[in-house]
Amino acid sequence: MDINNIPAEKFQFATRTDLYHDSKFETKPVSYFQGAFRRFCKNKGAVVGGVVITILVLFAIIAPFFTPFQPVYYDMVYAYVTPKAKLFANSNIDFWDGCRVKNTSKVGYLKDLALAKETGREVIKNGEYTISEDGSNYTYRYDTYYGVGFGKYKIISPEEFNDIQRYQNETGRQVLYPVVKFSDRPTLEKNKYDANIYYKVENPNVSTLRPKLDKNGDIIPNYWTYEEGDFSGLMAEYNSLRIEGENGFEKDGKQHYYVYGRKVDGGIEVRAEYYEYYIYQHNEVLKDGIKEPLFLFGTTQTGKDIFACLAYGARFSFIFATVVAIANFIVGVIWGSISGYFGGKIDLFMERIAEILGAIPTIIVITLLKYHMGTASQVLVLFIAFFLTGWIGMAGRTRMQFYRFKNQEYVLAARTLGARDARIMFKHIFPNGLGTIVTSFALVIPGMIYSETSFTYLGIINLEAGNITSVGTLIAAGQQSIMANAGYVAFFPCMFLVLMMLSFNLFGNGLRDAFNPSLRGTED
């Protein structure tokens, strides 16, 4: 058919009802951030990273409220005790039970066995052990909490002696045990004041003391006792003391009593089981909320609770890194926007300043600040050092995005319509470069934490003041603990750092894709 000569009969009039219009969209409009959130949720790795970050942040915020310990707390007696949880403490599962595998000689085994028999505690877990073929080596799970035993003889005041008696009578928990007469103790100085040696030994003059056993193979106690009628004489000679209300025991038809203390210069010398003495001190004397020695992540070489130190250290790291990142973000975005948008001499001048500051190593900045600021807070020194140069990276990325988008058609159209520079910069250009900028911001936080951890690990910055500590300080302590067969000291802070760095990288990649304008509309 010739389209230039269409017959008239081919045409017909149309009625109003025959007109067709575009149908109305039934779906709701999706905003920029709603679309970004949908794209982010499709990235499974980023979602997992976000969940892990949330858990770590909640741990840093909440965990300090669930532990009675603080970073300033330490107890050298309980140094390098292993992690212990109540759930596994009394189970037969060799996990998180406060024990460690111990390989020792028969003498070492007998010492632990003697302590277990006197206190009634499972120093040797379940009493189970194995012996090597030649009989020289004993292997068993050793309870690091009960195994402390009595330590050295302790000198306490008469008032504390009486208060412990009251505590024992009220609670039924035994803190003080009978002492050994001074003349019956081993000869060497290091053994003479060892309160764990309550038994007779084969040779008291040697360094390694072997317990003396009776015919049945049992430990023979060497407690200081006296007959009922000789109490006054012993008081004059030895200044011995006994627990009020102690019934004693009958021997050869006469009543005998145990001696629980010896008066010395400065107070009363006693044998106090440290586990019970610890409970008495914190519940009756200090009243600091610590009910018993229970360290969920174990302790360091100075007896600091790793769980508390990690929780407070993580809280400080997140707060510090977030504050520094926000400050660097604000300064970097403003600096980079001006430099990239106006270009020319302004850009040249601003870039030279950024290059000069960026060429100065952070460690030199910290050293100079510590030298000139004297006794100022180490936290302030660290903040200033990170702030002086930390914004440069953010400024460079922002500048790059502005150079990329400032000559686009929509920017030229906005300028033609009379839009002001500030509106063009932050209404048109900045949102299009937001993906890269937000990703950079998300990665600044773990970068700051990693840098702070590195400086505290190396000892350049010392944050051990008050209730402030650092993950890096814990890792440094963990490095020393490897030789002491206490790898858990380094394991927990290192695991925290690894999870945080990996999660933030996954999370940052997800944010980059979510805020990428070129991906808008691809989520469906």
DSSP string, 235-289: HHHH-EE--TT---EEETTEEEEE--EEEETTEEEEEE-HHHHHHHIIIIII-SS
What is the residue-averaged pLDDT of the chain?
Answer: 87
What residues does CATH 1.10.3720.10 cover in the chain? 47-61+304-519
The predicted model gives 133-141 an average pLDDT of 93
Select from 3.30.110.40, 1.10.3720.10, 3.30.1540.20, 3.40.50.1220 the CATH code of 47-61+304-519: 1.10.3720.10
The percent of residues above 70 in pLDDT, for the chain, comes to: 91
Looking at per-residue pLDDT, the higher value among 23 and 211 belongs to 211
Is the pLDDT at 19 greater than 70, yes or no?
no
Strands (E), 13-121: 99-104
Is residue 254 very low, low, confident or very high in pLDDT (cuts 50, 70, 90)? confident
Provide Rg for the chain, Cα atoms.
37
Of 313, 324, 250, 305, which is closest to residue 488 (Cα–Cα)?
305
Is the pLDDT at 56 greater than 50, yes or no?
yes
Cβ contact 106:152 at 8 Å: no
Is residue 237 very low, low, confident or very high in pLDDT (cuts 50, 70, 90)? very low
Counting every residue, how long is the chain? Answer: 524
Looking at per-residue pLDDT, the higher value among 223 and 35 belongs to 223
pTM of the complete model: 0.84
pLDDT in the model for residue 524: 46
pLDDT in the model for residue 233: 44
| Cα separation, 421 vs 427, whole angstroms | 10
Segment (H or E) for 196: none
Looking at per-residue pLDDT, the higher value among 204 and 230 belongs to 204
| Cα separation, 125 vs 87, whole angstroms | 16
Is the pLDDT at 421 greater than 80, yes or no?
yes
Burial of 253: CB neighbours in 10 Å, binned 0-12, 13-18, 19+:
exposed
pLDDT in the model for residue 131: 95
| Cα separation, 431 vs 428, whole angstroms | 6
Spell out a b/e string for 261-283, using b for 16 or more CB atoms within 10 Å of the CB, else e. Answer: bbeeeebbbbbbbbbbbbbbbbb
Is residue 9 very low, low, confident or very high in pLDDT (cuts 50, 70, 90)? confident
Strands (E), 162-231: 176-177, 225-227
Of 319, 333, 334, which is closest to residue 441 (Cα–Cα)?
333
pLDDT in the model for residue 236: 42
The predicted model gives 508-514 an average pLDDT of 81
Is residue 244 very low, low, confident or very high in pLDDT (cuts 50, 70, 90)? low
Is residue 258 very low, low, confident or very high in pLDDT (cuts 50, 70, 90)? confident
pLDDT in the model for residue 25: 62
pLDDT in the model for residue 23: 66
Residue carrying the six token digits 């040797």: 124
Is the pLDDT at 238 greater than 60, yes or no?
no
pLDDT in the model for residue 466: 67
Is the pLDDT at 398 greater than 80, yes or no?
yes
SS3 331: helix
Q: Is 103 left (phi over 0), alpha (psi -120 to 50) or beta?
A: beta
Q: Which of 139-153, 217-231, 315-329 is least confident? A: 217-231
The pair of structure tokens assigned to 408 is 């686009």
